[in-house]
Structure 1
Amino acid sequence: MSYFIDAVLKSDEKIELRQFLHELRAKDQRYLLRNDIERAFTEYCEDHEKSEAFQHVSNLGKLIFYTQEIIVEDESVCAIVRPKIAYQEAFRIHEDFTYDKMTVQDLLDTRDRFVDRYKPQEGDVFEIDFEPFYDYSPTIRDPKNIGKGVQFLNRYLSSKLFQAPRQWKETLFQFLSLHSYNGLKLMINPRIGSWEQLSDRVKQAIGFVSQRPENDPYENFRFDLQDMGFEPGWGNTANRVRETLEILDELIDSPDDSVLEGFLSRIPMIFRIVLVSVHGWFGQEGVLGRPDTGGQVVYVLDQARSLEKQLQTELQQAGLDVLGVHPKVIVLSRLIPNADGTRCNERLEKIWGTDDAWILRVPFRKFNPNVTDNWISRFEIWPYLETYAIDAEKELLVEFKEKPDLIVGNYSDGNIVAFLLSRRLNVTQFNVAHALEKSKYLFSNLYWQDLENQYHFSLQFITDLISMNAANCIISSTYQEIVGRTDSVGQYESYHCFTMPDLYHVVTGIELFSPKFNVVPPGVNENIYFPYTRQEQRVPDDAERLEELLFTLDDPSQVYGKLDDPSKRPLFSMARLDRIKNLTGLAECFGQSKELQKHCNLILVAGKLREDESNDPEEISEMRKLYEIIDRYELHGKFRWLGVRLPKTDSGEVYRVIADRRGVFVQPALFEAFGLTILEAMISGIPTFGTQFGGPLEIIQDRVNGFYINPTNLEETAQKLIDFVTKCEQNPDYWLEISRKGIDRVYTTYTWKIHTTRLLSMAKTFGFWNYSSKENREDMMRYIEALFYLIYKPRAQALLEDHMQR
């Protein structure tokens, strides 16, 4: 990247850089992020009447494009430049316009110095560096393949089978010998004593089953296969058994990554799954809209249902259902004694629409009942998680009668519990972040001490480092969640190098090229969220009731605001009232645009209407802000705010009612890790405008099946909405075109069947990898434990002592 700096400093553009930096110094802002830099350079080009080519094509324009951060110091400027995805460099540009490349330590010291926390006289700061621990595993080379870890591992493993056939065939043979379920032997028995014998017997068995009718049930020839050395698990019919044996035969004779993946996906090795979702109110009704409860609950419940269904299908195809082999899925959450009318005080609750999937709620130990008997914010939950994991282990073993085969953590607290459980039980651990707070709260690591009393980021960020490095696999919803885009840093990438001043420096926080990263987007519950055109699936009374609620009902306990003209096109959004979801930003955008108000009404579904209904400071602050915006812009008659917690069936119909009115869905979040509401709106048939900061960039194809917005640019956002509704008024078919393409996008890419099929295939691949690689992760795990006991646990104990005084 020094090429661009050299090119600028050795040309006439050096003067432009000098002038640009001089103008930056004249501003109050001393730490500029990507958006700030881009805006400042645009203003510079406009003020100095620079051409479009200069702004975007000149060497200075390219340098600015790749610059992610600028720190303006007294005698120099520090520029963090990201020339390509997942790679960054830092340079210090001096007053005489010479420059030096900065080390990671220099950069972190500079950031500490910016917040007056650099204290070299007190000794060096503790450095966290995970880089040496990734020497044991293969790494991806091409950034385009980040997030495709399983495909990479299958290629790597198949190449090993090809390069060292004897060793790896022996490993495969031993792996097949391992499998059983509750004492029932699966796959192969001791009648097959070596991999050479396995190869011969596979060919013999193929010949045997090929002579039987394709649909001949496995039970009819089970004992014949058993005599050859093959136990249940190969298939439920002669045809299915033959297919599985032929895949293994091909794998033995000519290894290939697709063949390996196909074979591993057929091995029955996953029967019991734990999905960990600790914080918040976790239930099937009466919880959405409460603090810390939103898309994650929907995600986990839908995932649990889909996993059970997919496991049932796989076990049936393996011929195991008739032998009494059935899957069980448990969602592990927190039991809240003071459940506020929900079922969160019940230990066990069956998940609707399943045969053997349950919510298992385990309470926190009492400590101070004034705290632990009630809901605890996700920012304050940390002191209870270690003992919670110990208690949860006992409860899980009671319910499963065996240890689980896979543990999937959700969010930071669930992931640390998943780590503690998987470490104790020696079980494969998957992580799902949903959202990493470090990306949501800008400068949260730099100013963690100022934010500690409210957010406790010192605990959150060390938790994230521990769990993401401990995990066998990290499931992300999008590629950009891992490593961002050309012009933006990914959520996980933000953990690669950062400082927590006075606490520690992270030199290498995560290996972004590790095959543990896998993009597996979620789906939507198609029984609840489906297109508005499917009138045969809709309940007319529900549609009528919700239409009244949305547009005309006069009930101050549920609704604030009346519409002067309910027939106007509705702009609609539904989210929690917190700063990141930015519903107040959408209201302000609407309030500032008289033109938009001529065409549309704004309708928000946001959980609560009154401060006395909430004990969440951030939610209360957003309520006050929303009321102030309504008054300031005189939105009465053009705006409705529904303070309701909708059951899931109602939330699905609400989208369809908005679609009936040819409405528009707007997702204005300042940052969105994925965006389930975007999927829900699109599958319902509502043209959708989604934030350009986060996951919506990969769901929506801009101006094809939806639109991107920059929620920090209110004027631009309003204009995009005006352009769309104006075009729809001129050509009603345009609304239908975007609606149809949005529906198609979800059905082809974002379904739970696609998600769970890939997740289970990945779990099996990682199971084989963990066994076959014989990699010694114990050094990393000991390092992780040191971070847990030396950083996490003392800080959690200090927070507990604070809770004991409440």
Structure 2
Amino acid sequence: MSELIQAVLESEEKNDLRSFLSELRHQDKKYLLRNDILNVYSEYCTNYQKPEHFSASSSLGKLIYYTQEIIQDISGFCFIIRPKIATQEVYRLTDDLNVEPMSVQELLDLRDRLVNRFHPNEGDLLELDFGPFYDYSPVLRDPKNIGKGVQLLNRYLSSKLFQDPKQWQESLFIFLSLHQYNGIQLLINNRIQSQQQLSQQIKAAIAFVSSLPSQQPYEEFRFQLQTMGFEPGWGNTAARVQESLEMLDQLIDSPDPQTLEAFISRIPMIFRIVLVSPHGWFGQEGVLGRPDTGGQVVYVLDQARNLEKQLEEDAVLAGLEGLNVQPKVIILTRLIPNSEDTLCNQRLEKVHGTENAWILRVPLREFNPNMTQNWISRFELWPYLETYAIDAEKEILAEFQGRPDLIVGNYSDGNLVAFLLARRLDVTHCIIAHALEKSKYLFSNLYWQDLEDKYHFSLQFTADLLVMNAANFIISSTYQEIVGTPDSIGQYESYKCFTMPDLYHVVNGIELFSPKFNVVPPGVNENYFFPYTRSEDRVESDRRRIEEMLFTLEDSAQIFGKLDDPSKRPLFSMARLDRIKNLTGLAECFGQSQELQDHCNLILVAGKLRVEESTDNEEREEIVKLYRIIEQYNLQGKIRWLGVRLSKTDSGEVYRVIADHQGIFVQPALFEAFGLTILEAMISGLPTFATQFGGPLEIIQDQVNGFYINPTHLEETATKILNFVSKCEQNPNYWYEISQQAINRVYSTYTWKIHSNKLLSLARIYGFWNFISKQNREDLLRYIEALFYLIYKPRAQQLLEQHKYR
């Protein structure tokens, strides 16, 4: 039995539990989530006149705090308890307080019955269980270490080298022998025929290079090393070569995790990278603000630039300049023939500011031209992805003149294409979810059939399950993206156990303690986003133009609203107009607070201004809603709404101009997986108020370099902003203090240099792990393929049939 339940039953609070269950019986809801449970408990404490300490400190209070869900049926109550992060316990409590554990299968059956979609006479549902496939790999023990998987993997690999040196050193020798660049052998040549010979030659090579001046260029002693069996790749100077050889020597003699990571991270094994992002308008101009673009496009473009730069630096440090090494990064996306005013109909486009990074656009196969020649929502793209991957494979091989070394998927559709490509090409692959829709839409798996026509979650959630298990490693921007917080489950954690009634039960969807999870936050493009105080890097004409656009420009078809008093402190937000980004919620918060209106203007840069200009249903609904709020709260003269598409240069200057006016950035999303705009605002010097639901919890340190808000509590949000404004008015330095702390936070933790180094290090280490564990992974990949063809593909075919008539 749960210790939390047992503590209640063995105390004087037993009757309180019975009374609480009685209160639950009177609830209209049969399925209560954590907030519902806390609200019922709060009402119970009030109604029964419980002392204040009872609510939080009692055994019952602790049980309620850790209970994530309560489902009631005729036979009793199902308590789903999360006593610690990434751990779940399920119990049935009857009205007379009998307690018995419930299996995962029983829980899923109960959830099915709740939506009346469980028909026992029709047989049991398919059960998906990925658990057994993780038996071959190490797992973490402490949930605090989830997201630091590479550290466990390094410990595991170094211990194997120590425990079974002969076999593992042989594997390491073979691995080092494999690496080439354009047919040129790297690291070791055929003069070294065995692991034993490698060990001997390393010591001889160390003795040789240690006699050279430390900064002597590699090319000047290359021939001597080649005669000893060592090819380029060890370093660009005598000192670097010596350091690399000494690391390998130590790994052979007395391996340890730090040396293993440092050595593997130096191996020149990655020169060609594919970043996959099929959906949306993916381009460098004229795309932001359109459906399915925004933060992800910015992220991938910045990542491509910085990975190329890092690959070039790594090649120089490895001593490969003499081989004319030219690293190449390709962003794989879809070609849209009817591209409107964008370049999305161009097959190949160079990424600005790079030597060899490209956007490669591959069209969807011709089907219904109304669909395949136009933009398609990310929710509708699923039927085309398998053939898209097949076609993209040919294009990638042609562009690289060979296979890529690493494939990185972005978002659910890109992750599926990355898996299909990696499987066909036998390449290390990584996925980045950015956001998993399952967490964003309440009960989206339970009521998937009601949402299927609009969102096709059966395809998306199936794809998510397959790719997160197939990936060699997974990058998340934050820890909580994986396993949440003590009082909320994470995005990946939500895939651990769930039902899609009439389709399948997931009894073990993902191993959260697997070393494949690693937290690697993105950075900010410092060419465009930098502190407002760096006046020498700002263009005065741009500043004046942006200032006019934000505050005073009239008679523009892209701007709604004239400010009565432009000198008021600006409250600023910039995002696409959809339900989750919740800009309408911010407008309502502003509208409900007369005091906030007295002190501030609200300035929004968001999507379109007119319904007829949008092709996205959700955006249309939000446009109508925003106008209604402006009318309802009489916000004319207090709000500016800019329906503009900004270049990156202008976006950066917008933040800085708002900072010039000692403004405030508010990010009111109902959920935010990470929050790139938060980093952009903070590095610009804007005090930032951001949602407490999601990634901002890890970016911002509350009341130190920013502030958390609960965007569902409008009055509380307004009060927090007003408190800040009041402090600034009492102490003019307060705004500057928070501003500087925000800038410092970004520079210390969230740069693309840090991100690129970490990502490439992970790619090399997991590439090594993939090489030595390949045989054990094949059974998992076969299982995933079976589910792809038996579940995903038939449903994709059904959707394709529907597309015929659109």
Aligning the two structures, in what range does the TM-score lie when normalised by the shorter sequence?
over 0.9
Contact residue 408 and residue 418 of structure 1 kept, 8 A: yes
Report 1:24-35 matches (<5 A): 24-35=24-35
Aligned to 1:705, what secondary structure does the other structure show?
A: coil
Contact residue 136 and residue 775 of structure 1 kept, 8 A: no
Letter in 2 for 1:114: L
- Whether 1:367 and 2:394 are equivalent positions in the alignment is no
Aligned to 2:609, what secondary structure does the other structure show?
A: coil
Deviation string for 1:304-349 (max 9, x for gaps)? Answer: 0000000000001111122111100000000000001100000000
Superposition deviation, residue 75 in structure 1: 4.2
Q: 2 CA distance for matches of 1:29 and 1:480?
A: 28
Superposition deviation, residue 35 in structure 1: 2.0
Letter in 1 for 2:558: Q
Report 1:765-780 matches (<5 A): 765-780=765-780
Aligned to 1:698, what secondary structure does the other structure show?
A: helix
Alpha-carbon distance change, 562 to 49 in structure 1, aligned in 2, over 3 angstroms: farther
Q: 2 CA distance for matches of 1:39 and 1:638?
A: 35
Task: Name the residue aligned to 2:358.
Answer: 358
- Whether 1:67 and 2:89 are equivalent positions in the alignment is no
Q: 2 CA distance for matches of 1:755 and 1:741?
A: 21
Task: Name the residue aligned to 1:731.
Answer: 731
Task: Name the residue aligned to 2:651.
Answer: 651
Contact residue 274 and residue 330 of structure 1 kept, 8 A: yes
Aligned to 1:358, what secondary structure does the other structure show?
A: strand
**TM-score (normalizing by structure 1):** 0.99
Contact residue 385 and residue 413 of structure 1 kept, 8 A: yes
Task: Name the residue aligned to 2:384.
Answer: 384
Superposition deviation, residue 22 in structure 1: 2.9
Task: Name the residue aligned to 1:253.
Answer: 253
Superposition deviation, residue 223 in structure 1: 0.7
Greater shift, 689-698 or 317-326, is seen at: 317-326
- Whether 1:555 and 2:569 are equivalent positions in the alignment is no
**TM-score (normalizing by structure 2):** 0.99
Q: 2 CA distance for matches of 1:719 and 1:76?
A: 42
Task: Name the residue aligned to 1:410.
Answer: 410
Deviation string for 1:401-428 (max 9, x for gaps)? Answer: 0100000000000000001000000001
Greater shift, 393-402 or 239-248, is seen at: 239-248
Letter in 1 for 2:232: P
Deviation string for 1:573-595 (max 9, x for gaps)? Answer: 11110001111111111111112
Letter in 1 for 2:739: S
Deviation string for 1:565-621 (max 9, x for gaps)? Answer: 111111111111000111111111111111211111111110110000101111111
Task: Name the residue aligned to 1:9.
Answer: 9
Task: Name the residue aligned to 2:101.
Answer: 101
- Whether 1:275 and 2:278 are equivalent positions in the alignment is no
Q: 2 CA distance for matches of 1:737 and 1:770?
A: 48
Task: Name the residue aligned to 1:578.
Answer: 578
Superposition deviation, residue 23 in structure 1: 2.9
Q: 2 CA distance for matches of 1:499 and 1:722?
A: 44
Task: Name the residue aligned to 2:399.
Answer: 399
Q: 2 CA distance for matches of 1:173 and 1:17?
A: 63
> Gapped runs of 5+ residues in structure 1?
none
Report 1:347-746 matches (<5 A): 347-746=347-746
- Whether 1:330 and 2:303 are equivalent positions in the alignment is no
Task: Name the residue aligned to 2:311.
Answer: 311
Q: 2 CA distance for matches of 1:220 and 1:13?
A: 81
Deviation string for 1:42-92 (max 9, x for gaps)? Answer: 333334443331111100110011011112324422111000111101112
Deviation string for 1:608-653 (max 9, x for gaps)? Answer: 1000010111111111111111111111111111111111111111
Q: 1 CA distance for matches of 2:248 and 2:595?
A: 65
Report 1:180-259 matches (<5 A): 180-259=180-259
Q: 2 CA distance for matches of 1:165 and 1:134?
A: 24
Q: 1 CA distance for matches of 2:571 and 2:128?
A: 47
Letter in 2 for 1:785: E
Q: 2 CA distance for matches of 1:646 and 1:141?
A: 46
Deviation string for 1:698-730 (max 9, x for gaps)? Answer: 111111111111111111111111111111111
Letter in 2 for 1:196: Q
Alpha-carbon distance change, 562 to 22 in structure 1, aligned in 2, over 3 angstroms: farther
Superposition deviation, residue 774 in structure 1: 4.6
Contact residue 581 and residue 668 of structure 1 kept, 8 A: yes
Contact residue 338 and residue 373 of structure 2 kept, 8 A: yes
Superposition deviation, residue 41 in structure 1: 2.2
Letter in 2 for 1:190: N
Q: 2 CA distance for matches of 1:42 and 1:589?
A: 25
Letter in 2 for 1:586: L
Deviation string for 1:712-760 (max 9, x for gaps)? Answer: 1111111111111111111111111111111111111110010010000
Q: 2 CA distance for matches of 1:44 and 1:599?
A: 40
Letter in 2 for 1:348: L
Superposition deviation, residue 353 in structure 1: 0.5
- Whether 1:50 and 2:61 are equivalent positions in the alignment is no
Q: 2 CA distance for matches of 1:466 and 1:796?
A: 15
Q: 2 CA distance for matches of 1:222 and 1:332?
A: 38
Contact residue 18 and residue 96 of structure 2 kept, 8 A: no
Aligned to 1:747, what secondary structure does the other structure show?
A: helix
Q: 2 CA distance for matches of 1:760 and 1:622?
A: 40
Contact residue 137 and residue 775 of structure 1 kept, 8 A: no
Q: 2 CA distance for matches of 1:87 and 1:290?
A: 39
Letter in 2 for 1:427: V
> Gapped runs of 5+ residues in structure 2?
none
Q: 1 CA distance for matches of 2:453 and 2:280?
A: 19
Q: 2 CA distance for matches of 1:704 and 1:574?
A: 23
Task: Name the residue aligned to 1:145.
Answer: 145
Aligned to 2:545, what secondary structure does the other structure show?
A: helix
Deviation string for 1:367-396 (max 9, x for gaps)? Answer: 111111000000000010000000000000
Task: Name the residue aligned to 1:160.
Answer: 160
Superposition deviation, residue 556 in structure 1: 4.3
Aligned to 2:645, what secondary structure does the other structure show?
A: coil
Greater shift, 555-564 or 11-20, is seen at: 11-20
Letter in 2 for 1:189: N
Aligned to 1:162, what secondary structure does the other structure show?
A: helix
Letter in 2 for 1:242: Q
Letter in 1 for 2:488: S
Task: Name the residue aligned to 1:794.
Answer: 794
Letter in 2 for 1:713: H
Greater shift, 200-209 or 644-653, is seen at: 200-209
Aligned to 1:301, what secondary structure does the other structure show?
A: helix
Aligned to 1:71, what secondary structure does the other structure show?
A: strand
Superposition deviation, residue 240 in structure 1: 1.4
Letter in 2 for 1:276: V
Superposition deviation, residue 5 in structure 1: 1.3
Letter in 2 for 1:675: G
Contact residue 289 and residue 645 of structure 1 kept, 8 A: yes
Deviation string for 1:450-485 (max 9, x for gaps)? Answer: 000000000000000011011000100111100111
Aligned to 1:275, what secondary structure does the other structure show?
A: strand
Q: 2 CA distance for matches of 1:44 and 1:349?
A: 62
Aligned-residue sequence identity (percent) comes to 73
